[in-house]
Amino acid sequence: MVYPGAVHSRFEHSLGVYWLASDAVHKLKTYQGQELGIESFDVQTVKLAGLLHDVGHGPFSHMFEREFLPRVRDGIKWSHEDMSLKMIDYIVDEHSIDIDSGTLKKVKEMIVASEEGKSVSSKEKQFLYDIVANGRNGIDVDKFDYIERDTRACGLGCNFQFQRLMETMRVIDNEICYRAKEYLTIHKLFSTRADLHRTVYTHPKVKAIELMVVDALIKANDYLQIDSLINEPAQYWMLDDTIVKTIETSTHQDLEESRNLIRRIRRRDIYQFCNEFAVPKENLEYFKNVTAQDIICSQNSDAQLNEEDVIVTNVKIDLTSGRNNPLERYFRILGLLLLMISCSCDD
């Protein structure tokens, strides 16, 4: 509705990440293959990780995970990355795919490499785990694809050129590194991602429609038992965006409220955006998430809002390193290098 051209799915994105992951590992093999010992086994695992990294996403992707599930399963700890691992096991077993356990294990480790607390079984060739989901610095082909894809589909300008990084990357001390002169390209990667969050992913109308879909799914959950499928791969794979059409075309009385919400979206009768507040950077560490109850408690005596009349969305947009500049580590290392060079010259 807001960006009608942005209609690509996780399928196209997964193919894109597969292709970029393949391109990245082949480039490293061309540049440093003999030095790094990159084998066909390594190429295959990286490509599979790129293809399957998002197979665990539910309907409407992050909305399902971050908005719907917490409201129907209080305190739940569930991630699409972990679900991807279950889905991979299910696919292999269901279709009797002949793949050795070592390959499967590495593919799974590469998919969850960006999650905190996740470790890999071997420190050998750790740079391979930076390609699809880079937990070290956030520079990976997953971002390359969705940033390029989303900016183009939404008609937004994109100054970030991932091809420059792909051509100049080299492995040093088991980490993928880039030329010093590409620091602006890297900064554009993170700043473009932040711009997408500000102008697309958290656009007031986008959030309004998203929250209406969430409410529709919540109201349909008792009847459809959507949340009961999240740990059952054999049923979960059937759960996708078409659930909205299932609700909309159903005549069952238990889905009437959900149907009405979806019809409101079709008529552009969406939730109204009221206001937003940007928390000053210096107050972030002391600031707690605002709730609907906080808003109701602060209303004037003349107002008659109930808690169910208000939805508050707390949004955090950063450069993937929290309050830290992702280039700070780069500058520290560069500064140390320059100091060492300077000292050597003095000698």
Active-site residue set: 80
Q: State how far the Cα of 165 lies from the Cα of 111, in Å rounded to an integer.
A: 21
Among 87, 76, 100, 23, which Cα is nearest to 54's?
87
Cα-based distances in Å from 82 to 88, 115, 122, 167, 307: 10, 10, 20, 32, 34
Query: Which residues are registered as beta bridge partners of 170?
Result: 177
Residue 71, amino acid: R
> Is the separation of the CB atoms in 200 and 155 below 8 Å?
no
The residue to which tokens 């450069």 are assigned = 319
Q: And the tokens for 60?
A: 């409407």
**Backbone torsions φ then ψ of 170, nearest 5 degrees:** -145, 155
> Is the separation of the CB atoms in 51 and 15 below 8 Å?
yes
> Is the separation of the CB atoms in 89 and 55 below 8 Å?
no
113 alpha-carbon distance from chain centroid: 13
Q: And the tokens for 79?
A: 């991630």
Alpha helices in the chain (DSSP H): 10-36, 40-52, 62-63, 69-72, 80-94, 101-111, 141-153, 162-168, 183-196, 204-224, 233-236, 243-249, 256-266, 292-297, 328-346
Q: State how far the Cα of 52 lies from the Cα of 84, in Å rounded to an integer.
A: 7
The 8-class DSSP code of residue 278 comes to P
Q: State how far the Cα of 239 lies from the Cα of 58, in Å rounded to an integer.
A: 7
Spell out the residues 6+ positions from residue 233 whose beta carbon is closer than 8 angstroms to its own: 83, 86, 87, 89, 90
Beta strand ranges found along the chain (DSSP E)? 170-172, 175-177
